[in-house]
Amino acid sequence: MVKLMLALDLDKERALKVAEEVKDYVDAIKVGYPLVLSSSLEIVKEIKDICEKEVILDFKVADIPATNEKIAKLSLRYGDGIIVHGFVGEDSVKAVRDVAKPLNKKTILVTEMSHPGALRFIQPIANELAIMAKKLELDGIVAPSTRPERLRELKHLSNLPVLTPGVGAQGGRLEEIIKILDENDYIIIGRAIYNSEDPKKMAKYYKEKIRALSK
């Protein structure tokens, strides 16, 4: 079954509360700048103490190789993987991968982003980014639920597990993307769960919907 990844873009207090509430229904958790900058990287340990799920660091790392290497070393003391940008070049991505691989942690590459602004600069190079992810034998790509045909193509080109944001608050529809995905892939949902009146109920709803549509 396709996995459900919660994007926990909240402050510490709310993040830990939501993690506790939804832990029976999510397979993995994504933490990014909103949470880490309002607490610290130690938050990853606290999340793991609550729910023992895979935690991916969404830092969209995008610097020169030497700096990327330092960022990866410091970040990957925590969590199970890190998200990087590819437009900075193969050498920058390799620098992260070469830190992550020996630690048995994932390097996941952003291809096309899900927001409207992605059409101008990143969509034109997204196919090449997916092909680079395959060449570098990375552990996955990020591709948009808001554009199902692009999601399909990027998954095909990379032949890697996909993490796909955009369902819910960004207008992506589960029904349209689920058939493109398989059990190695993750649907990332944030606001539609944590901003709802009852995050637990909403996480359960998405989990059950994924199960029903996966058949």
Residues in the annotated binding site for substrate:
9, 30, 58-67, 114, 165-175, 190-191
Give the three-class secondary structure for 6.
strand
Q: Is the CB of 165 or the CB of 215 nearer to ligand 3DU?
A: 165
Q: Closest distance between ligand 3DU and the C-beta of residue 142, in Å?
A: 5
For the window 33-72, what string marks contact with ligand 3DU as x by the rule CB under 6 A?
A: -------------------------x--------------
Q: How far is CA 38 from the centre of its chain?
A: 19
Rounded to an integer, what distance in angstroms lies between the CA atom of residue 93 and that of residue 200? 36
* Binders of ligand 3DU in range 164-193 (CB under 6 A): 165, 168-170, 188-192
For the window 81-120, what string marks contact with ligand 3DU as x by the rule CB under 6 A?
A: -----------------------------x--xx------
Give the three-class secondary structure for 114.
coil
**73: exposed, middle or buried (Cβ count in 10 Å: 0-12, 13-18, 19+):** middle
Q: Closest distance between ligand 3DU and the C-beta of residue 52, in Å?
A: 21
Contact 165, 186 (CB under 8 A): no
Does 161 interact with ligand 3DU (rule: CB under 6 A)?
no
- Site of tokens 């359960």: 204
Contact 1, 211 (CB under 8 A): yes
Q: Is the CB of 99 or the CB of 193 nearer to ligand 3DU?
A: 193
Q: Closest distance between ligand 3DU and the C-beta of residue 5, in Å?
A: 9
Does 142 interact with ligand 3DU (rule: CB under 6 A)?
yes
Contact 5, 163 (CB under 8 A): yes
- Site of tokens 């952003």: 110
Structure tokens at 202: 């909403």
Which residues would be at the binding site for ligand 3DU (CB under 6 A)? 7, 9, 32, 58, 110, 113-114, 142, 144, 165, 168-170, 188-192
Report, as residue numbers or ranges, the catalytic residues: 58, 60, 63
